[in-house]
Structure 1
Amino acid sequence: MRNYLSTIKYALGISLVLSATGCSDQLDEVQPQTSLNRDLILSDPNAAMTLYYGVYGSFRNYHYTLFTLGEMRSEIWADGLFTESEDGGLRNYYTHNIDANNVPASNWAGFYSLLDKVNTAIKLFPQTPVPDDEKNRVLAEMHGLRAFVYYTMLKTWGGVPLTTEPVTQVGGLEELYRERATPEAVMAQVKADIEQSLSLFGSDNALTAPFTGTSKHIYWNRAATLTLKGDAYIWSGTHMGGGSADFATAQQALEEVSAMGGLGLVENYADLFNPAREAGNQEIIFAISYEKDEATVGAYGSFRVNTTQASTLLLDPYTNPRSVSQAYPYLSGASRVGLSESMIQKLQSSGDERIDATFEVMYRNAPPTYPIAGVLLTKFAGREDAGAQLYDVDFPVYRYADVLLLLAEAKTKQGVDPSAEINQIRERAYGSDYTPFVGGSQQENMQAILEEDLREFIGEGKHWWSLRRAGNEWVFAYVDPVYLAPGQEYKLLLPISVGMLNSDPKLTQTPGY
């Protein structure tokens, strides 16, 4: 019985019962209900749309997973300063303390539960009484989301079990067994879903469908599919033998996004993380939604500070001394992970406006030296509301800055000058008197891209994936070899647990572990 239940947990989320969490503002007309069955979905358009909104509610639950998988194995947070006990789980990521007996993100990080909901929507929506234009839009979004999830899993584990059908019933344990598909098969599924998504979107470039009743870009869209296409084809060109043909395909997709109306960099970087500026934000392509009375951001508690310590730590002790509690009276958390002094110095040495909008350095009240105590990640701090801190900043999955840096990468890997895209990023960061980047060798261009990526996306779960997509040599160039060194390429992918192997005789361990 234990193995059977364990297999169900890591595998395919066997129920059609779907929660409608997190979309109350879109569901005013939906029948009040806590679960949906197949017959109701196929007969009631309100129930079908509850299934649709429920997928996004479920996707939001993976914010922390997307952040940790995409960022915490990079150099950003390694050997950082903090004021409380270290977050041991996150330490395992950035020290690469990973083996078959110490597995982060076990049970495939729960992604198969999300995939089962997406598969259910893809399976049932063609048969629902939803109007055809809305139906096609929903299906286009679901294929895009499925491609994104499988692409994330491919980058994390390599080959993973593939399933594109929802699980409706289980007659026996053996029906749940799934072997790992090859990485090539997983990438083929990603690319197939991307093309299906684009076909269903047709010429619909709206960043949010009218039937959602919002102007926030919190539903998958054609620009998101094209950005994912650029991302995935650079990966397959770099790691899977696609070479120049895949880089050219990526460039074409990304240039199509850059030519779309209504998209571009916002003038003020801080506006990207201002909850009051989220509606219709021209830089956001697709984001996870957070709203008061719906859901708030919970991923960054270890990147803040507790209220007791906040009263003893200072910000700007030499120029504008004030305690953290004076500056952020309602902010709370636990300082359990941080930036190293060398990383702080690297990021603060350039007059980059992104840094001031991302974190603040906390100092101990010990004049005259005022030693650094840690940092406070403020990018997703939200705002004060009714005497409390409201963590309601949307989490960008893709934004226009991604498009520019991905396009720069696709060009670089084809030997084309990426300076135009890099300089758009730099001009926003440093102002009109910025120092323009002048294209150089392929290595110089790639390093310039990664340096902008580092500063642009702190806290957004991107930098590890950017290093990986650039190529293994870039991972080893940026990550401390004490933690990850050439010859340990197998560690670029995560293992699966012994319990998973015992539960499913068809599974095999990630190579190298």
Structure 2
Amino acid sequence: MKSIKNPIILATAMLLGLAACKDKLAEVRPETSLDPNVILADASSAYALYNGVYVTLRGYQYTLFTLGEMRSEIWANGLFTESEDGTFRQFWAQDFSEATAPLGNWGGFYSLLNRVNTVITLFPKAPLDVATRDRYRGEMFGLRAYVYYNMLRTWGGVPLATQPLKEIGDLSSLYQERATPEMVMKQIKADIDSSLALIGPNVSYATPANPGNNKRVYWNRAATLTLKGDVYLWSGTHMGGGSGDFATSKSALEEVRDNPLFGLQPNYADIFDPLKENGNKEVIFAINYEKDQANLGTYGSFLVNTTQRSTLIFNPENPVPVVSAYPYVGGANRVGLSPALIAKLTGTTPPDSRIAATFRTLHNNSAPYALRGVLLTKFLGRADPISSSQIYDTDFPIYRYADVLLLLAEAKAKLGESPKAEIDAIRKRAYGPNFKPFVPGSKTENLNAILDEYLREFIGEGRYWWAERRAGDAFVYDRIDPKYLTAAESYKLLLPISVSMLNNDPKLTQTPGY
């Protein structure tokens, strides 16, 4: 039997399972193709296929976080109480080569794309009303654009797959070369346009499959518009789009900004409270986590283990034992912030409310109470005394209203306009009525001010590295320690692909520079 080596081909088994489960056991036969009439036999099958995309997306939260967070300077050379997490270190140390390429098989994204492509392709004939079919396909076009945008930013050109896999035959016919970055961007923008056209002019989180939904965990028009603002900032900065793309970005983001469904939560901590997620006006789209369904497990190395927590305290001035504050939290402490960054984030007057809701510093429980590391608290979820366990059920935001404001500030800055209104809104929520109003300066000064707010606003959310990259390469080199990355190693802004990928698919070529 031939082994399936091409990463795009691996997604086929998932869909074959959908078809095969409909057959009676006595009629089982080797399957080499997919039958849409079986997959979409009734409305329930269609809903299951659609909801399966969101379940599958949940499995990529770790990858999305890692790609957007760990290459920035946030967690570089930090303090931690246990052995270091080597996987995360590779990212913040920019330690990449063909031999050590991380995230093999394109991070597994083609399995997710295959599910998305199946909905897009099959749903025009699904046994659902036209409005429902259009809505669901519009969501999938938006998700596909989002996935390819992450891949473009990570690897540059990647293979473009816009149709579901239908047959297993001659595997060589499924080998596929990398499209150019320009081709990938063209596909992303086309998918954004398709998403907006199919979803229509209104924003809604209830769906026909889940009419009572009030959590913001389904893709929607506002998510596509926010993605559009993000994408056009990137293409304007890195792909020659210039002021025309910046203006398009600004227009898309202003539509979301002006929608009364959205706004900043007055209390920053409420964004991440799993008991306050219904109708959370700050969230535009989030990956859903629920008790007894799935826990958010990405942050195990940002916590503290059950033995050490009894030897550590918070707040040396008024000691609080970690074990009493978080009796059920378990994990490891293998990633941390540097003392300099901790001092920068916690040393403001007035204090920044975002920091208190994001992490707490860990100290020895005896004098001189040495700083040992940090506990990331933003995604701790809640304690359940009944089961004596911690429930990590905080939804993971992909986009929220603060994204819209800071993306809009960036669009204005790049157009030569003042981003004061957006930065002041972010600062007022963070510092209260005594916040320091932003004083506009040069374009570079304005963009640096926006990046400083990104740093504080989105710790742990996988945004800051992309904000640095989108601002422009010079901002990356200015903020990353030069012993890890300089302009002379600009090729490292993109990741390499593995030797095994090159060996298994003769049409693939290595990322330029490696």
TM-score, L = length of structure 1: 0.94
2:27 corresponds to: none
1:116 corresponds to: 114
Task: State the shift of 1:356 in Å.
Answer: 0.3
Task: State the shift of 1:99 in Å.
Answer: 0.6
Say if 2:345 and 2:355, in contact at 8 Å, map to a contact too. yes
1:377 corresponds to: 376
- For 1:18 and 1:215, the matched residues in 2 are separated by 33
Say if 1:12 and 1:167, in contact at 8 Å, map to a contact too. no
The AA in structure 2 aligned to 1:494 is: L
Aligned 1:208-287 pairs, distance under 5 A = 208-209=206-207, 211-212=209-210, 213-287=212-286
The AA in structure 1 aligned to 2:486 is: A
1:30 corresponds to: none
Residue aligned with 1:361, SS:
strand
Aligned 1:98-177 pairs, distance under 5 A = 98-177=96-175
Residue aligned with 2:313, SS:
strand
Residue aligned with 2:362, SS:
strand
The AA in structure 2 aligned to 1:239 is: H
1:29 corresponds to: none
Task: State the shift of 1:366 in Å.
Answer: 3.2
Instruction: String of CA shifts for 1:431-463, please: whole Å, max 9, x gaps.
Output: 011110011110110011000000000000000
The AA in structure 1 aligned to 2:252 is: A
Residue aligned with 1:15, SS:
helix
1:67 aligns with 2:71: no
2:359 corresponds to: 359
Say if 2:382 and 2:392, in contact at 8 Å, map to a contact too. yes
- For 1:47 and 1:394, the matched residues in 2 are separated by 26
1:329 corresponds to: 327
Compared CA separation, residues 180 and 127, structure 1 to 2 (3 A): same
Say if 1:18 and 1:117, in contact at 8 Å, map to a contact too. no
1:486 aligns with 2:490: no
Task: State the shift of 1:10 in Å.
Answer: 5.3
Instruction: String of CA shifts for 1:42-81, please: whole Å, max 9, x gaps.
Output: 3301000000000000000000000000000000000001
- For 1:467 and 1:135, the matched residues in 2 are separated by 38
Task: State the shift of 1:201 in Å.
Answer: 1.3
Residue aligned with 1:396, SS:
strand
- For 1:345 and 1:443, the matched residues in 2 are separated by 25
Q: What residue ranges of structure 2 are gaps of 5+ in the alignment?
A: 19-33
Compared CA separation, residues 97 and 225, structure 1 to 2 (3 A): same
Residue aligned with 2:426, SS:
helix
The AA in structure 1 aligned to 2:365 is: N
- For 2:104 and 2:481, the matched residues in 1 are separated by 25
- Across the aligned residues of Structure 1 and Structure 2, the Cα RMSD in angstroms comes to 1.4
- For 2:406 and 2:246, the matched residues in 1 are separated by 13
Say if 2:9 and 2:165, in contact at 8 Å, map to a contact too. no
Task: State the shift of 1:120 in Å.
Answer: 0.4
- For 1:360 and 1:168, the matched residues in 2 are separated by 50
Residue aligned with 1:375, SS:
strand
Say if 1:310 and 1:325, in contact at 8 Å, map to a contact too. yes
- For 1:99 and 1:16, the matched residues in 2 are separated by 32
Say if 1:143 and 1:194, in contact at 8 Å, map to a contact too. yes
1:338 corresponds to: 336
- Structure 1 stretch displaced more, 300-309 or 206-215: 206-215
1:429 aligns with 2:427: no
Aligned 1:53-92 pairs, distance under 5 A = 53-92=51-90
2:405 corresponds to: 404
1:416 corresponds to: 417
- For 1:129 and 1:211, the matched residues in 2 are separated by 13
- For 1:183 and 1:19, the matched residues in 2 are separated by 34
Say if 1:495 and 1:510, in contact at 8 Å, map to a contact too. yes
Say if 1:41 and 1:128, in contact at 8 Å, map to a contact too. no
- For 2:250 and 2:16, the matched residues in 1 are separated by 38
- For 1:398 and 1:46, the matched residues in 2 are separated by 29
Task: State the shift of 1:12 in Å.
Answer: 5.3
Instruction: String of CA shifts for 1:191-221, please: whole Å, max 9, x gaps.
Output: 0000000000111221443542310000000
Residue aligned with 1:168, SS:
coil
- Structure 1 stretch displaced more, 60-69 or 169-178: 169-178
Instruction: String of CA shifts for 1:413-443, please: whole Å, max 9, x gaps.
Output: 0100000000000000000111100111101
The AA in structure 2 aligned to 1:48 is: A
Say if 1:170 and 1:176, in contact at 8 Å, map to a contact too. no
Residue aligned with 1:97, SS:
coil
- For 2:75 and 2:5, the matched residues in 1 are separated by 33
Instruction: String of CA shifts for 1:102-137, please: whole Å, max 9, x gaps.
Output: 111111000000000000010111111111111111
Residue aligned with 1:362, SS:
strand
Instruction: String of CA shifts for 1:494-513, please: whole Å, max 9, x gaps.
Output: 00000000001100000000
The AA in structure 2 aligned to 1:110 is: G
- For 2:300 and 2:262, the matched residues in 1 are separated by 32
Say if 2:302 and 2:374, in contact at 8 Å, map to a contact too. yes
The AA in structure 2 aligned to 1:278 is: E
Residue aligned with 2:301, SS:
coil
The AA in structure 2 aligned to 1:504 is: D
Say if 1:292 and 1:390, in contact at 8 Å, map to a contact too. yes
Count of matched residue pairs:
494
Residue aligned with 2:40, SS:
helix
TM-score, L = length of structure 2: 0.94
1:48 corresponds to: 46
Q: Which stretches of structure 1, 4 residues or longer, exceed 4 Å deviation after superposition?
A: none
Say if 1:19 and 1:54, in contact at 8 Å, map to a contact too. no
Residue aligned with 2:286, SS:
strand
- For 2:68 and 2:206, the matched residues in 1 are separated by 25
1:470 corresponds to: 471
- For 2:16 and 2:336, the matched residues in 1 are separated by 37
1:495 aligns with 2:499: no
Compared CA separation, residues 361 and 247, structure 1 to 2 (3 A): same
Task: State the shift of 1:309 in Å.
Answer: 0.1
